[in-house]
Amino acid sequence: MNGKSGFGVPGKSKGRGFRACLFFVFKTVWNACCLPEWLKMNFEGSLGKMPKRRRPVEPSVEACQEDAERQSVRSCSHGLNLIHEYDEDSENEPTDTAWCLESDEQVYNKPSKAKRLEVPPEIALMFNQETDDDGKVEESSENHEGRTRSFAHVRGNWASFVYIPFSGSSGDFGTIVFMQDLVKSVVNSKEAGFHLNTDIHMSLSKTIPFRHHWLEPFKVELRKRLVNVESFFVVFDEFEVYVNDEKTRTFVGMKIHTSKILRDLVKDCDDCLKEYNLDRYYSDPSFHISLAWLLGNQFVNVTKLLPKLNEKWKTSLHSNLSLLTCKISAIEFKYGDRVSQFRLN
């Protein structure tokens, strides 16, 4: 033989077979291994089998705007339904339908079965009062037993004052009732405009208009000044007649002996009111409680009855000396129809 095989040149055929075998083994191991995808792609690229990588397609500006509008419509659809529930509708229209926008489409919902609540008459009457251009409420004295306000009521203002409560307190209510019985026995209770007071108190400040946003700061400051004040006793003196600043009412009251503690309490109130530029209490106050009142200025006529009234009072003290004093354990601040109480130590 000349050294040639039937398959061609021995050296070349042997090299091709070795490479084919090596490639087969490498491919088998390659498929069995869990290699990262990017590494596989690099090796396959080197073998001429690397697939074409797709570049991410960036959304256009118009597509972004459309997507944002779609999200906005979806987010406000629920809000539109809630707003519609509060829309003014008539009870004679039971087929009222609510609508909303969702995914750029109108979706009609079933009629709401929620029942509308009626406004309480107490609140509705608050908005039936006539006001002038300055917001002052026009009121008639006929609705208040003939009484008139010392200052015009303006919305947002609260008629407020600080006082010592007497009525309803334990241990002194019997004394108050006894005093009022004496007044009725002397003063003609059948006279027109005669009324017994039901809210017995001794004022520590004038009745003044308070802005709503002043109330809480004022209460905080007043509480700080009263925190160390202890309970004390007041001493009743004798009956006296008073007329309000507007001369529209006459009061029959019981004078209370002026003491240092009462003057200190008035000063504390005045100092708190000073910050708001509000009227302070009288420079020389006559501390008293009002037991009854009459319409108009009847100072002269009622004063004539004082000697008889005070004589009965002194006679009562001889038999019951406990009527002479009363223990004070709280200070109150009334604003509008609300009351804040400050208990004393």
What residues act catalytically? 201, 288
C-alpha to C-alpha distance for 199 and 114, rounded to whole angstroms: 44
Length of the chain: 345
Rounded to whole angstroms, the Cα distance separating 17 from 12 reads 9
What whole-number distance in Å separates Cα of residue 202 and Cα of residue 242? 13
Tell me the C-alpha distance between 129 and 137, whole Å: 6
Residue 115 structure tokens: 């029942």
Position 52: which residue type? Answer: K
